[in-house]
Amino acid sequence: MKCFLKIVLICLTIVMAFATHEGVDAQMKPNYLPRTIGAWTRPESPEIINSDNIFKYMNGAGELYLGYRFDHLEVFDYTSENQENILVELYFMETSDDAFGLLSLDWGGEPVSFDGLPAKSSDRLPKALYGAGLLRVWSDNLYIRIMASHETPASKQAVLDLGKAVTADRKNSPEPELLKFLAPDVDSGWKLRRDRQSFFRSHLALNSVYYLSHANILDFDLSAEAVIASYEQVAAKEPIRSQFLLVKYENRARAFKALNHFHDAYLPDHKKEIIEDSSAKNLSLFKIEDGWTGYKLIDNYAVIVFKCPDRKSARTIINKNEVNLEGNHKR
Amino acid sequence: MQNKKTVITRRDFMRGTLGATIGASVLGFNWPVSEAKAAGSSLVTVVRDKSALDASNKVNSKALNKMLELTLSKVTGKNNPKEAWLSLVKPDDVIGLVPTDHLNQTHDEVVTAVKSSLVNAGIPKDKIIDAQGGPRYPEKCTALIALPALKAHWLTGIGTVLKDYIMFSGSPDSYHKGNSAKLGEIWNLPFVKGKTKLVLVDSLYPLCDKGPQPDPRYQWAYNGLVAGTDPVAVETVCVKIITEKRKALRGEPWPLSPPPICVEAADKVYGLGTSKMEEIKIEHYGWEKELLL
């Protein structure tokens, strides 16, 4: 009996090893991309970039991808005898959220749909954006950049066809959960700008959207996840915008430590009121140079608002999001 | 005594503690007015030609050569390129050309035009080298011509003049993120200091966002050469062009993010030149459309 179990175990190990190996191989094999598209032909196999050689491939740009949960990158250079190249970069991320995050840093461009749904919709963000020869796509755990060196009608068609080919039959993952926690509307006429929300895990990505500090004053790392979004006061003659930041940490202790760090670095001239005990009282509001800033610790979340025109707005935006956050958690 | 480390935050820019130059690029404040008619301490020339790029954004070398000639003449006040070059470099100098080789690369045609112009001025061909790379390159040179391309940068805000020498440091990673303020330090390394005779920015097809990789939506045909002998003044003008282009694209202030703190630091900490617009005399020639200055 013991011997039988041993054999079964060995067989299982071998099968699992093959399965894993096949899985990786399947990911590496470029069969998801056509060999030729229009006038362009790709090489047999991609250039593989990982965290060890990413800086050699793209210099400091590698910091962006390593600031998300990056697995590897596959690069194909489609060439043509009489047309300029089309570069295909497939960023394999560990999670769908990370691939979404990369797209979310810039919602500009013309929305494109590969799944038959309308490209533009008021209730969902686009999954693919095209502009001036560059297609950027979020498809499950894949972030895709396909760029024609020179845009022509033929190269645009080829770029879009390649986007369609890569995304075919891939899982349709939902947007990061953190986005659901953002209140779409807040009293006093504040409205969430869907096209101004970005998901990230590093202060470098945050700074590329909304500069806070060159230092990592909110203790971001790959275990944290965050979303920054704009709230706009729709009734105002001139647009009044506030920034709302929601960060989820591994646990409450880390969130507490990060908020303390934030206060020390950003608000050193203001008295700290943050207390580890969660209660409605620990909403902290401060009048600084560009308006009202406020923050609150809610379990393992840090919520911060910037640039509010008055105390009431800062309080309302935080409170409404707190209610939304708690409501979503209870569901 | 405890040495408390200062952290630069957005509030420093709002308070103006890092000065108006960076504040403008971070927060979209109005720029200090450059009084071109006043005797500025640093001259920056902007030469543009509508025909410098064709419809496919290919360089028209003939137009480029003319732009270079005019630039040299205006920067030095000399009558022709030969006199201009010989007022900047000596015939026995080993001249290092330092183009940018990544992201928005310096056009090969710009490097070729400069090289040919130097040779025509009597500089031996073998005395002109490509000096982009590690410290051994500037060590070999007695004169340097910085040839960066105009671009924003996602880690340093601006990635044009001051960042052009980052590889000379031998440790480029040490000058990213918060340390980008120290980029000016590289220009003061013993084997670099004082060697830069001309800063000539390839502004034919700049990139105003959205790094870290090129995005053609943010590139445009500016068709210009921006030049001077004060690297900080040239960079300051470059920041202004980029900032104004971003504003024009969005129809509202769209500050560089992160802010280019290296520019003011190069002025106030490293003494490389001026970052104050009121101390810069901008002279522009040629095509006026969307000058952004």
Question: Are A161 and A245 found together in one domain?
Answer: no
- Whether A21 is in a domain gets the answer no
Token pair for A199 = 């998901």
Amino acid at B262: C
CA of A237, closest CA in chain B: separation in Å? Answer: 14
Give the per-residue pLDDT at B34.
42
Q: Which of A145, A167, A189 is the last residue of a domain?
A: A167
The answer to whether A133 contacts B255, with C-beta atoms less than 8 Å apart, is: no
Chain A hits for B257, Cβ within 8 Å:
207-211
Look at B26 and A105 and tell me if their CB atoms are within 8 Å: no
Instruction: Evaluate whether residue B260 is within a structural domain.
Output: yes
Residues A190, A108 share a domain: no
A9 has pLDDT over 60: no
Question: Which CATH number covers residue A241?
Answer: 3.40.1000
Q: Is residue A12, in this structure, part of any structural domain at all?
A: no
Structural domain count of chain B? 1
For residue B26, what pLDDT band results from cuts at 50, 70 and 90? very low
Indicate if A150 and A185 belong to the same structural domain.
no
pLDDT value of position A274: 67
The tens digit of pLDDT for each residue in B44-85 reads: 999 999 999 999 899 999 999 999 999 999 999 999 999 999
Give domain status of residue A97, yes or no: yes
Tell me the pLDDT band of B180, cut-offs 50, 70 and 90.
confident
Residue B3 in any domain: the answer is no
* Shared-domain flag, residues A125 and A204: no
Task: Look up the pTM and report it.
Answer: 0.89
Assess whether A313 and A181 both reside in one domain: yes
Taking the Cβ of residue A208 and every Cβ of chain B, the question of whether any pair is shorter than 8 Å is answered with yes
pLDDT over 90, % of chain B:
73
Tally of domains in chain A: 2
Tell me, yes or no, whether B5 lies in a domain.
Answer: no
Q: Structural domain of residue A112, as residue ranges?
A: 32-167
A41 shares its domain with A104: yes
pLDDT for B181 equals 83
Q: What percent of chain A has pLDDT over 70?
A: 88
Domain match, A163 and A181 both: no
Contact A265 B7 (CB under 8 A): yes
**How many Cβ atoms from other residues are within 10 Å of residue B44's Cβ?**
27
Mean pLDDT of A140-158: 96
pLDDT of residue B13: 83
A chain contacts of residue B219, beta-carbon cutoff 8 Å: 132
CA angle in degrees (0–180, nearest 5) for A225-A95-A134: 95
Mean pLDDT of B271-290: 95
- A54-83 mean pLDDT: 94
Query: pLDDT (tens digit, 9 = 90+) per residue, A186-213?
Result: 987 899 998 899 999 999 999 999 999 9
Per-residue pLDDT tens digits for A16-65: 444 433 333 344 455 579 999 999 999 999 999 999 999 999 988 899 99
Examine the pLDDT at A283 and tell me if it is beyond 80: yes
Cα atoms in the 13 Å half-sphere on the side-chain side of B74: 23
- pLDDT > 70: what percent of chain B? 89
What are the pLDDT digits (tens) for B4-24? 456 889 998 888 776 543 444
The reply to whether A143 and A223 lie within a common domain is no
Clarify whether residues A184 and A163 are in a common domain. Answer: no
For chain A, say whether B250 makes contact (Cβ under 8 Å).
Answer: no
Poorest-pLDDT segment among A74-78, A181-185, A211-215, A235-239? A235-239
Same structural domain, A158 and A255: no
Last residue of a domain, one of A139, A167, A195: A167
Answer yes or no: is A7 within a domain.
no
Interface test with B, best of A86, A196, A211 (most B CBs within 10 A): A211
The residue-averaged pLDDT of A236-253 equals 92
Which of A59, A132, A214 faces B102 most closely, judged by CB atoms? A59
Q: Are residues A283 and A138 in the same domain?
A: no
Confidence band, pLDDT 50/70/90 cuts, at residue B32: very low
The DSSP 8-state label assigned to residue B53 in this structure reads B
- pLDDT of amino acid A184: 93
A181: in domain: yes
Last residue within a domain, chosen from A149, A167, A185: A167
- pLDDT of B276 > 60? The answer is yes
Beta-carbon separation of B212 and A213 below 8 A:
no
- Residue B293, in any domain of the structure: no
- Give the residue-averaged pLDDT of B206-231: 93
Q: Do A66 and A198 reside in the same domain of the chain?
A: no
What DSSP element (H or E) covers B228?
strand B224-228
Q: What is the pLDDT of residue A277?
A: 59
A292 part of a folded domain: yes
B140 close to B155: Cβ distance less than 8 angstroms: no
Q: Which domain holds residue B195?
A: 10-286
